[in-house]
Amino acid sequence: MKKVIKKRTFKRSDDVPEYVNPEKKTWGKQDPEEEYFEEENDSNETKLTRLNKFISNAGVTARRKADELIFTGRVTVNMQTVTEPGTKVNPEKDVVKVDGEKIKPQSEFIYVVLFKPRGYVTTTHDDKGRPTVMDLIGLNTRLYPIGRLDYDTDGVLLLTNDGEFSNMMMHPRHKIFKTYFAKLDKPMEENDTKKLREGVMIDGRPTSRAKVRIIPNTGEQNIWISIHEGRNRQVRRMLEALGYIVQRLKRVEYARIGLDGLKPGEWRYLTPEEFIEAKKLATPKPAVFRKPPPEVPEGEPVKKEKKGKKGGKKKKKEKNKLKKAAAVQQPSSGSDVLESISKELENISEQISDNRED
């Protein structure tokens, strides 16, 4: 399927430098047919699926939005209204309808990255009649944006009909970072970069730690900032809380997926390598468990172990052995030699006297 772009001209964003992610690794050569799609289940047993997940995978909306549809009574299963998102359904037998329209699981998933221009709303439909990002994509398949970009913010926007993938990218527990270029009204102070890295209070609760880098040779007014949360206008509000006004904001990367030469208003399909890498980033990391400290009886003082370099005890033992060996091999001093000679002379004189008596 060829790329379709609505005919419209945009000004190129030449004021934003090229972003290079220091953590991004070069894509390896992999066979798209081997890893791009998940393995099919060969078993004849059909697994039951949660209702909200079924709606999301059908491309209707993201899982959180699916919960809202269920709570408000807009979803029926086999002609019965269901208000519990965790209800299990059989994708092959049960009839699920949203607002009276029957939905079916998607047979093909599509993943798109769009260079969203400023002046577009990140939604499928706008009541005020403003242009939406869907006007820029001419595919017949229903796609939904993964997250949002403000009306005045441009840059990377992911769209898909895969509800499960969308949920993986947006849910805070997966900590998928999004990187922005921000131009400020005044130089960024070093103390404020520390505050951003520790978290800033917004709406009475702190944000998660951000990654911040000041772009050199820009008067410290241009920065890269990466966050993994998705609060409303979060980057702007974090900087406003520290007394800065954001004059320009552009998202340059989402889950290590960049624009790669796209112009404003253009889009492309995700490569198999980008898709695989994004899913790896969302995969939960194994937990690390540490042994609890030994219990100390009441009344006894707690002994603190001195922290030193790794292998410190072994090195000390080796040093002690070397010292002992050196002490054995060292030559005796002058006084020790005289004493040994005098003892030998005494022994010899005793032997001579014993022989005379005999």
Indicate whether 152 belongs to any domain.
Answer: no
**Alpha carbon distance 20, 258 (integer Å):** 9
**Angle ∠(283,289,295) on CA atoms, nearest 5:** 165
Query: What CATH number is given to the structural domain containing 194?
Result: 3.30.70.1560
Given 221, 254, 287, which residue is the final one in a domain? 254
Buried b (16+ CB within 10 A) or exposed e, 164-186: bbbbbbbeeebebbbbbbbbbee
Indicate whether 100 belongs to any domain.
Answer: yes
State residue 52's pLDDT score.
85
CA nearest to 111, candidates 191, 183, 168, 39: 168
Instruction: Name the CA radius of gyration of the chain, rounded.
Output: 35
Phi/psi at 206 (5° precision): -75, 150
The domain of 95 spans 47-105
Number of domains in the chain: 2
Phi/psi at 132 (5° precision): -110, 165
Per-residue model confidence as pLDDT tens digits over 166-189: 888 988 888 999 999 999 999 999
CA–chain centroid gap for 76, Å, is: 37
Q: Which two tokens stand for residue 155?
A: 């840059």
CA nearest to 252, candidates 16, 2, 42: 16
Choose between 248 and 173: higher pLDDT.
248
pLDDT at 329 over 60: no
Q: Which residues are catalytic?
A: 150
Choose between 88 and 62: higher pLDDT.
88
pLDDT at 40 over 50: no
pTM of the model: 0.64
State residue 104's pLDDT score.
80
Q: What percent of the chain lies above the pLDDT cut of 70?
A: 70
pLDDT at 45 over 70: no
Indicate whether 80 belongs to any domain.
Answer: yes
Indicate whether 304 belongs to any domain.
Answer: no
Choose between 7 and 91: higher pLDDT.
91
**Alpha carbon distance 243, 300 (integer Å):** 52
**Alpha carbon distance 208, 197 (integer Å):** 8
Alpha-carbon torsion angle 98, 102, 104, 110, nearest 10: -60
Cβ within 8 Å of residue 96, ≥6 positions away? 51, 54, 55, 58, 75, 76, 77, 89, 102, 103
Pairing of strands 111-116, 144-145: unpaired
Contact 236, 92 (CB under 8 A): no
**Angle ∠(61,63,69) on CA atoms, nearest 5:** 70
State residue 113's pLDDT score.
96
Given 254, 279, 299, which residue is the final one in a domain? 254
Per-residue model confidence as pLDDT tens digits over 228-240: 998 999 999 999 9
Alpha-carbon torsion angle 204, 226, 177, 24, nearest 10: -160
Q: How many residues does the chain have?
A: 358
Query: What CATH number is given to the structural domain containing 63?
Result: 3.10.290.10
Given 191, 220, 254, which residue is the final one in a domain? 254
Indicate whether 88 belongs to any domain.
Answer: yes
Q: What is the DSSP letter of 298?
A: T
Indicate whether 335 belongs to any domain.
Answer: no
State residue 41's pLDDT score.
46
State residue 8's pLDDT score.
47
Indicate whether 350 belongs to any domain.
Answer: no
**Alpha carbon distance 121, 151 (integer Å):** 5
pLDDT band with cut points at 50, 70 and 90 for residue 2? very low
Q: Which two tokens stand for residue 91?
A: 């994708």
Indicate whether 196 belongs to any domain.
Answer: yes
Tell me the mean pLDDT in the region 310-339.
Answer: 61
Contact 207, 200 (CB under 8 A): yes
Collapsed DSSP state (helix, strand, coil) of residue 274? helix
pLDDT at 30 over 70: no
